[in-house]
């Protein structure tokens, strides 16, 4: 890693992006062997938030009969109000550009307040049917609160909660495990809803870029859109009973091309890698379905002969694509 950094720094100097004085300053700084604990401390703060909110859930579950519903709801509401009070008091207010708290702890206080708000509303609906049979409201209201907090306090973690809530309101989950177990097969509309939601997230990023609204959120929106659209399309391609499965490869191709361009514009290696993985899965399924149409004896021989070649070429191509991507974003 150290050698790679030195090579890239030298490359910047040779291309005249930095001066010789700046090059020497960078080398002198690296020779001090100084490193930052910022990322590690933030990780521990994030883990603390997860442990705290998980502890609240466990406490409620184990002592529900002892504490009482009203007491639990009151305690949750007090913590939420106090947390939001400190967040609003120390925030710089809504701004279209990227903003941060002077104290990074407050960013995680926003996250705690938002998660506890979701718990409070969910508990209220589960125990007292506050919204009646309109279960969508119990999902939509925390989602709206999350979007407001994400944009007002400029919090990416809360934004992921908001998008997850929006997806749940549409009718499916967006965690990697839940996406693969959603009922795409028996409910065709769910697959269409997933694609439409992914497209809406894409259109929102385009509009946000045009009006310069929290452009740094684009990576999160595009990442969710990539996973939602790609998994929905792959599920459609897997439907053996569909008479138009050949047409599914067309939107998969367009999706791969679009997210390839997005990964370059955002310089996001994560989007690029997942785009390649989804494209590989889609192409593999497409080829397998073509091979499946062969006669049984010819099919088995063909698979036995081509599988090692296909896997080897795929691995080598994947490595080459990653190297080419790194070169392009460094130009």
The DSSP-derived string for 282-316 is HHHHHHHHHHHTS-HHHHHHHHHHHHHHHHHHHHH
Tens of pLDDT along 187-244? 566 778 888 999 999 999 999 999 999 999 999 999 999 999 998 888 877 765 455 6
Contact 262, 271 (CB under 8 A): yes
- pLDDT, position 176: 47
- Per the structure block, which two tokens stand in for 212? 């310069």
Tens of pLDDT along 116-161? 898 888 878 777 777 777 767 778 889 999 999 999 999 998 999 9
Question: What torsion do the CA atoms of 237, 240, 243, 244 make, to the nearest 10 degrees?
Answer: 10
First and final C-alpha spacing in the chain: 19
CA distance 155 to 145: 13
> Global pTM?
0.80
Q: Which residues lie below 8 Å from residue 251, measured CB to CB, with a gap of 6+?
A: 195, 233
Contacts by 311-319, CB closer than 8 A, 24 or more apart: 314/280, 318/276, 318/280
CA distance 203 to 210: 11
Question: What torsion do the CA atoms of 68, 114, 57, 119 make, to the nearest 10 degrees?
Answer: 50
Contacts by 50-54, CB closer than 8 A, 24 or more apart: 52/112, 53/112, 53/115, 53/116, 53/119
CA distance 79 to 141: 19
């Amino acid at each position: 890693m150290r050698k790679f950094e030195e090579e890239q720094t030298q490359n910047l100097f040779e291309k005249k992006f930095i001066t010789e004085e700046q090059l020497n300053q960078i080398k002198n700084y690296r020779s001090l062997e100084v490193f930052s604990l910022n990322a590690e401390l933030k990780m521990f703060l994030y883990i603390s938030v997860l442990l705290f909110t998980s502890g609240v859930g466990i406490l409620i579950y184990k002592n529900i009969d002892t504490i009482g519903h009203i007491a639990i709801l009151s305690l949750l509401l007090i913590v939420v109000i106090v947390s939001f009070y400190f967040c609003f008091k120390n925030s710089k207010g809504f701004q279209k550009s990227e903003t941060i708290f002077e104290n990074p702890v407050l960013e995680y206080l926003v996250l705690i307040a938002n998660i506890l708000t979701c718990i409070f509303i969910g508990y209220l609906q589960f125990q007292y049917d506050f919204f009646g049979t309109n279960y969508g409201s119990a999902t939509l209201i925390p989602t709206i609160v999350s979007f407001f907090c994400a944009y007002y306090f400029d919090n990416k973690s809360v934004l992921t909660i908001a998008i997850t809530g929006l997806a749940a309101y549409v009718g499916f989950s967006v965690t990697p495990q839940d996406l693969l177990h959603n009922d795409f097969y028996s409910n065709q509309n769910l697959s269409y809803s997933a694609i439409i939601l992914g497209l809406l997230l894409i259109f929102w990023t385009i509009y946000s870029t045009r009006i310069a609204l929290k452009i740094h959120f684009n990576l999160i929106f595009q990442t969710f859109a990539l996973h939602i659209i790609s998994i929905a399309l792959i599920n459609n391609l897997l439907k053996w009973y569909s008479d138009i499965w050949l047409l599914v490869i067309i939107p998969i191709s367009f999706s791969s091309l679009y997210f390839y361009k997005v990964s370059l514009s955002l310089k996001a290696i994560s989007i690029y890698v997942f785009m390649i993985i989804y494209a590989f899965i889609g192409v593999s399924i497409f080829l397998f379905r073509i091979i499946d149409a062969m006669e049984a004896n010819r099919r088995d021989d063909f698979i036995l002969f081509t599988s090692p070649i296909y896997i080897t070429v795929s691995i080598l191509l994947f490595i080459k694509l990653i190297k080419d991507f790194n070169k392009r974003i460094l130009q």
